[in-house]
Amino acid sequence: MARSFKLPDLGEGIHEGEVIAVLVSTGDEVKEGDPILEVETDKASVEIPSPYTGTVEEILVKAGDMVKVGQVLVTFSDGETAEVKAQKKAQETPETVALRLAPTGKKGPIPASPATRRLARELGVALHKVAPSGPGGLVTADDVHAFAQKKEKAEEVPAVAAGPVVEAIPFSVPTPALPDFSKWGPIERIPLRSIRRATAKQMTLAWSQIPHVSSQDEVDVTKLEILRRRHKAEIETQGGKLSLTVFAVKAAAAALKKFPDFNVSLDITSGEIIRKSYYNIGVAADTEDGLIVPVIRNADSKRLAEIAVELNELVQRTRERKISLEELQGGTFTITNIGAAGGRGHFAPIINYPEVAILGMSAARMKPVVTKTEADNFKIAPRLIMPVVLAIDHRVLDGMAAIRFLAFFRNALEDPGNLLMAI
């Protein structure tokens, strides 16, 4: 009997990937642990090792295919020759054939998206009881809502009504079909794959699940810029880049320690807030294929020079597509800096689910600022001002908490002495 190899679970929240390369051919002899496929999933490429030692019998995928966890990718021969298999088949009786082909009564998984499954768990709905309306028997979120509402009505004690009972019609807004754009001119259809596909799914999840609230501020980084320029060359000799993002990573780690409610995730299923005792800062890196977020682990315990070197190496490997999946996971807080691309004003970043906050930074610019002198007079002076914005998950955090977090972050960056004391 041939042995089937299915796409294994590759990590947290990963359900599918794109086959980048098939590294074996039919008839190849492979050993357990030999790479057989390269799959790109959740913004990283990973080599899939063979779980068996044997002969590749059939390859069921090709480069460019989208595959899901649990899908059969390759089958391996059990070592029997075609002649032996033919002899065994000839010796089968009608009874053994019937036994081999008889249904087991075992039900397969109900087709439904991860978001729909999560919704069913939250509403206490058994998916196998829901009538599907989607293509191929897919159970949709609307199906789950409709079933839950019917279930609630069935469980209610009917009240005595003076007049006829009018059944409420569930309100839902289905995604409308797109128009035929080719009616107005030439079009091109480009498959949504790889990093852009993963980004689209992650952003849809984050925006649909998290009620975002944003707070804005401005940070005077004049003194910090003097310090940065003073030590920039020294850090470059160590292989790092002393950018404002490096200081922001350190200040954010200190702020997370000061305000631990920002270093959490919300578990809707269990009704619990998961507080983490580690401080892993993700930093969004701009690549040709989109934003990817490598993670600086234990940023609170690393020196500025260490962060500068590590961040530079992570960003380089990310842009060269050499980053590992492990280095993209485990973040507790994310920083995104649009300043390097020329972004000047405030913007509204989307929280990196399942985190509960994200900090956005824009380019620092010289501005006239009113300052107070020691003699209680006022003067206008040129200062280097950097806009920042903090987006929070309003299910677990409030606006005042965001203001306090930003104030701590701002004070840490505005005075290098404050930053030193914070770390």
If DSSP states are collapsed to H, E and C, what string results for the chain?
A: CCEEEECCCCCCCCCEEEEEEECCCCCCEECCCCEEEEEEECCEEEEEECCCCEEEEEECCCCCCEEECCCEEEEEECCCCHHHHHHHHHCCCHHHHHHHHCCCCCCCCCCECHHHHHHHHHHCCCHHHCCCCCHHHCECHHHHHHHHHHHHHHHCCCCCCCCCCCCCCCCCCCCCCCCCHHHHCCCCCCCCCHHHHHHHHHHHHHHHHCCEEEEEEEEECHHHHHHHHHHHHHHHHCCCCCCHHHHHHHHHHHHHHHCHHHCEEEECCCCEEEECCCCCEEECEEECCEEECCEECCHHHCCHHHHHHHHHHHHHHHHCCCCCCHHHCCCCEEEEECHHHCCCCCCCCCCCCCCCEEEEECCCEEEEEEEECCCCCEEEEEEEEEEEEEEEECCCCCHHHHHHHHHHHHHHHHCHHHHHHHC
Q: Which amino acid, one-letter code, is at 359?
A: L
For residues 246 and 303, the answer to whether their CB atoms sit within 8 Å is no
Give me the catalytic one of 15, 212, 346, 394: 394
d(CA 18, CA 41): 6
139's CB contacts (< 8 A; 6+ apart) are 110, 111, 112, 116, 120, 127, 130, 132
Handedness of CA 355, 356, 359, 360 (dihedral sign): positive
| Catalytic residue list contains 394 | yes
For residues 190 and 339, the answer to whether their CB atoms sit within 8 Å is no
The catalytic site residues sit at 394
